[in-house]
Amino acid sequence: MRSISVTMNLTLDGVVQGPGRPDEDTRGGFPHGGWGARYQDDVLGQEMARGMNQAGDMLFGRRTWEDFIGAWSGRQDGNPFTAHLDAATKYVASTTLENADAWQNSILLPGDATQTVARLKAEPGADLSIVGSAALVGSLHAAGLVDRYTLLIHPLTLGTGARLFDGSAPLTEFRLTRSVATTKGVLIAYYERA
C-alpha cells in the first residue's frame, strides 16, 4: 500500500491560494497572489530539496497540474526541481480532462478523486506526494487518505482566499515528527497521522 504526503504553503489564517506568483490563482478576485515569494531562503530551499530527493510519484488536481506545466515543464535552467518534476510519474485526478498528454510521465485518474486515488493508494508502488492542489487535498483528507503533511506556515494573515480546509474536515489526529524554522520566520512542520 502506498502512502500519501501533502506539502502545502499556508498563512497563519490558513490561506493556501496563490502563494507562488501574482497570477497563479486569481479565482474569486484574490488580490494577494505571490504572498509566499518574499519568505524564500536557503533553509526553506534545503527542506524542499530534501523532500524532492525522496523517491516517489506525484499526485495533482487538474488545476495545479495545468499550472505546474506552465511553470515547470521542460525548463532549461538547471533547477533541480525541474528535473525532478519532469522525471516523476504524475497522476492527475480530474473529472474534466480527456487525457494527460500535455506533460511527460503524466497519467490521468478520471472520475471521482476519492475513489480513483483510494484504488491507486491500495496498489503496490511508490509513495505519492501532493504539492498544492488544495481542493484535492481537502477531499482526500475527508476520505481519510492523507498520511502525512508538511506545512510551510508563513508569518502573515491575508483575511481572504481559499483555505486549506474550507469545508468541514473530520476529526483526525496527527503527531508532529519534526519542525524547522527558517530565517524569515516560516515554520516548516512535519505531521504524521497518529
On average, the pLDDT of the chain sits at: 92
Average pLDDT on 126-147 reads 95
CA atoms of 127 and 44, how far apart (whole Å): 22
Domains and CATH numbers, the chain: 4-193 (3.40.430.10)
Average pLDDT on 156-163 reads 96
CA atoms of 116 and 119, how far apart (whole Å): 5
pLDDT at 81 over 90: no
Going by pLDDT thresholds of 50, 70 and 90, the confidence category of residue 40 is: very high
Handedness of CA 70, 74, 78, 79 (dihedral sign): positive
H helical segments located in the chain: 42-52, 62-72, 80-87, 113-122, 134-142
Q: What is the pLDDT of residue 54?
A: 76
Average pLDDT on 111-122 reads 96
pLDDT digits (tens, 9 = 90+) for 23-37: 999 999 999 999 999
Q: What is the pLDDT of residue 72?
A: 76
CA atoms of 176 and 179, how far apart (whole Å): 8
State the helix-helix crossing angle for 42-52 and 80-87, rounded to 10 degrees.
Answer: 20
pTM for this predicted structure: 0.93
CA atoms of 145 and 111, how far apart (whole Å): 17
CA atoms of 44 and 32, how far apart (whole Å): 21
CA atoms of 122 and 186, how far apart (whole Å): 34
Going by pLDDT thresholds of 50, 70 and 90, the confidence category of residue 70 is: confident
CA atoms of 160 and 155, how far apart (whole Å): 15
What percent of the chain shows pLDDT beyond 70? 98
Cell of 52: 524532492
